[in-house]
Structure 1
Amino acid sequence: MPKTEAELMEFLAELGIAASTRRHPPLFTVADSQALRGVIAGGHTKNLFLKDKKDNFFLVTVGEDAVVDLKQIHQVIGAAGRVSFGKPEMLMELLGVSPGAVTVFGLVNDSAGRVKVVLDKALMDHAVINAHPLTNEATTSVAAADLIRFVEATGHDAVILKVSA
């Protein structure tokens, strides 16, 4: 059973990570979320749940305006050949979220460590990072350094690479 938003908040609190969450109507796309600009400061995320031909899974987290070359990204992230988007069933199984709510915070549900996370360098240049807290009906803000601590506390390596153009 995937963790709930409340369980995610407990996990962050146990790590000593200060997080603030703002509720809003469901946001399914970056365009939807851009309506909140000016209300929530910091870097806003766009997440790509990808798989390669050997069924290796990747969560690539970039800034909302980032341009990512999906035909070349496999060379940057270490995938076995070209990547495609992972199926919604695998997204739910591995990260505990559905399409439209993909988030770096989903790593809290990947206890087996099957998903490799890649954080874009440009996104991590922001002091504050904003992501959905396992639901697209809210946005949670944490310090960039705390996001790295969160990723590592879930048992994942916080790989920071230049992914966006």
Structure 2
Amino acid sequence: MQHDPDSLLDLLVRHRIASQTFDHPPLHTVAESKALRGVLPGAQTKNLFLRDGKKSYFLVSVAEDAPVNLKALRDPLGARGSLSFASAEALYEMLGVLPGSVSLLALANDTAQLVNVAIDRTLMRADAIGCHPLTNTRTTVLAPEALKAFLKLTGHRMQEIDLPAPRADGQA
């Protein structure tokens, strides 16, 4: 069953995964979401749906302001070959969302557990984490333990990673 935003939120309630959801105008970028600071509690995220040279897929979630270097992510993720952004078609096929709504909560639609999950260790130390519930017109906030319970429910194993520090010379 492919979840929509309401069935996803019902899933959280049915499994007693504590969360709080906020409605807001559509957010397509981190810059747009920053306009809601003070309204949305918790750490907000930047989510990257990636694939490697062997067509393995990764959902990487980091703090919204974290610099990300795809070359430097390869080793922490265990990727084979170079990393690139996956296509919008693969995103919809695997996670049931469109660009702009990528979120850890979209893993509810990956019932075959084909997507590898990596979350920045710093993000997991936040009091709460904001995630789109399959739409960019809402943000659902969960404590890290609630997020872990959700991932367990979906059958996904979370890999906590330390983002490689950016080099001063801009190289990977």
Relative to the length of structure 1, the TM-score reads 0.97
Runs of 4+ that moved beyond 4 A: none
Shift of 1:163: 2.2
Question: Do the aligned partners of 1:97 and 1:106 also contact (CA within 8 Å) in 2?
Answer: yes
Residue 15 of structure 1 deviates from its aligned partner by 1.9
Q: Residue 147 of structure 1 corresponds to which residue in structure 2? A: 147
Tell me, yes or no, if the aligned pair for 1:66 and 1:164 is still in contact at 8 Å.
no
The answer on 1:51 being equivalent to 2:45 is: no
Identity of aligned residues (%): 46
Question: For 1:115 and 1:9, how far apart are their aligned partners in 2?
Answer: 21
Q: Deviations over 1:91-149 (max 9, x none)?
A: 00000000011000000000011100001101111011101010000111111111011
Q: 1:29: Cα distance to partner?
A: 0.2
Q: Which runs of 5+ in 2 are unaligned?
A: 166-172
1:122 and 1:164 in contact (8 A); partners too: no
**Greater Cα radius of gyration, structure 1 or 2:** 2
Q: Which amino acid aligns with 2:132?
A: H
Measure, in 2, the Cα distance between the counterparts of 1:33 and 1:106: 18
Q: Structure 1 residues 125 and 164, CA, compared in 2 at 3 Å: closer, same or farther?
A: farther
Cα distance in structure 2, aligned partners of 1:36 and 1:143: 19
Partner SS, residue 160 of structure 2: strand
Residue number in structure 1 paired with 2:168: none
Q: CA RMSD in A?
A: 1.0
Q: Which amino acid aligns with 1:148?
A: K
Q: Is 1:63–1:123's contact at 8 Å kept on the other side of the alignment? A: yes
Aligned residue number for residue 161 of structure 1: 161
Q: Displacement, 1:160?
A: 1.0
Taking the aligned partners of 1:13 and 1:108, their CA distance within structure 2 comes to 14
Conserved 8 A contact 1:26-1:136: yes
The Cα of 1:17 is off from its aligned counterpart by 1.0
Amino acid in structure 1 at the alignment position of 2:81: G
1:118 aligns with 2:118: yes
Paired positions, count: 165
TM-score (normalised: structure 2): 0.93
Aligned to 2:169: none
What is the distance in 2 between the residues matched to 1:92 and 1:28? 16
Does structure 1 conserve the Cα–Cα contact (< 8 Å) formed by 2:4 and 2:134?
yes
- Give the residue type in structure 2 aligned to 1:132: H
SS in 1 for 2:141: strand
Residue in structure 2 matched with residue 67 of structure 1 by the alignment: 67
Q: Distance in 1 between matches of 2:74 and 2:37?
A: 31
**Does the Cα contact within 8 Å between 1:67 and 1:164 map onto a contact in 2?**
no
SS in 1 for 2:119: strand
